[in-house]
Amino acid sequence: MKNLNEKTITQAVIDRNKNTDNPRLKTVMTSLVQHLHSFAREVELTEEEWEYGIKFLTDVGQICSDSRQEFILLSDTLGLSTLVIAQNHRKPEGCTEATVFGPFYVSDSPELELGENMSVGVKGTPWFVKGNVRSISGEAVANAKVEVWQSDEDGSYDVQKEHLDHLEGRAIFRTNAQGEYHFETIVPEAYPIPHDGPVGKMLQQLNRHPWRPAHLHFMITADGYERLVTHVFREGGEYLESDAVFGVRSSLISNWVKHENGLDPYGKQHDKPFYTLEFDFILNKTGAAS
Ligand code: BEZ
Ligand code: FE
């Protein structure tokens, strides 16, 4: 086909793609081409702007490495991650809500026993976290894999620290027969997402800040249940209303209780402040209707 013009080009591309044997690919690509072309028509995209866009996407790709995932930051700051998560996790009322995964998860965290400290040697205020993992009907979920990760009190994750030769501030726990989990760590603080790259520049040009409110990441996996990727946010913390990646849900905001001193849940005396958190997770059964 030749002599294509601004009116006929969209259908020509859709027709060229239609011979794929993969029906889902056909649906996705047809819609992608339609929406991309509609976008260019709607804003009357100039050649300079499209060159800028290609340079931007090139920069996003080029800054990516084993420890830097700029495309996740782009998806998160454009709200696309939140949209995709929300439409893929429509759950019955009462189930714990999912939120963004973020770029700082690693799959080979140390496996610790319940009660162990996942932030040994990390400077910060001690924090004792516990709760239950249950089904919506109240059944304890025993032996659930509870993966936890967090920033430190300066707002940095272990994987961001170039000098560090080990993992810290992350662990894998297993719930006991009663579906309980508990562990020790330190209180994480609010932090800016990495903003020294193209996504940071984009935020700056849009007059947006890069900060996330203080939170603790959880990923919970158990046979017979949907995987839950979520956070627990700190009640009263800064940036709850303006999270750079749109990840806050009211149901995930919780009271991080401050104790000036005294006995921690494991019976150890503290002369300085420590915090406690109790948070239960309600999993959705696989195949359960929303
Ligand atoms: C995080 O919470 O680790 C995170 C999420 C999205 C972008 C950057 C960081
Ligand atoms: Fe985080």
The per-residue pLDDT string of the chain (290 residues; one tens digit each, 9 = 90 and over) reads 789 999 999 999 999 999 999 999 999 999 999 999 999 999 999 999 999 999 999 999 999 998 889 999 999 999 999 999 999 999 999 999 999 999 999 999 999 999 999 999 999 999 999 999 999 999 999 999 999 999 999 999 998 888 888 999 999 999 999 999 999 999 999 999 999 999 999 999 999 999 999 999 999 999 999 999 999 999 999 999 999 999 999 999 999 999 999 999 999 999 999 999 999 999 999 976 55
Confirm or reject: Cβ of 214 under 6 Å from ligand 1. Answer: no
Q: How far is the CA of 257 from the centre of ligand 1 (A)?
A: 24
What's the longest Cα–Cα distance across the chain?
81
Question: How wide is the angle at C-alpha 263 spanned by C-alphas 258 and 265, nearest 5°?
Answer: 80
Do 259 and 135 share a structural domain? yes
Q: Residue 231 CA: which ligand 1 atom is closest?
A: 2
Is any atom of ligand 1 closer than 6 Å to the C-beta of 100?
yes
Same-domain check for residues 23 and 166: no
- Domain with 34 in it: 1-45
The total of structural domains in the chain comes to 2
In a domain, 50, yes or no: no
Residues 57-84 as b or e (16 or more Cβ within 10 Å = b): eeebeebbeeeebbebbbbbbeeebbee
Domain assignment present for 251 = yes
Separation of 76 CA from ligand 1 center, angstroms?
8
Atom of ligand 1 nearest to the CA of 217: 2
Decide whether any atom of ligand 1 lies within 6 Å of the 245 Cβ.
yes
Q: Ligand 1: which atom is nearest the Cα of residue 157? A: 3
Q: pLDDT value at position 289? A: 55
In terms of domains, do 157 and 266 share one?
Answer: yes
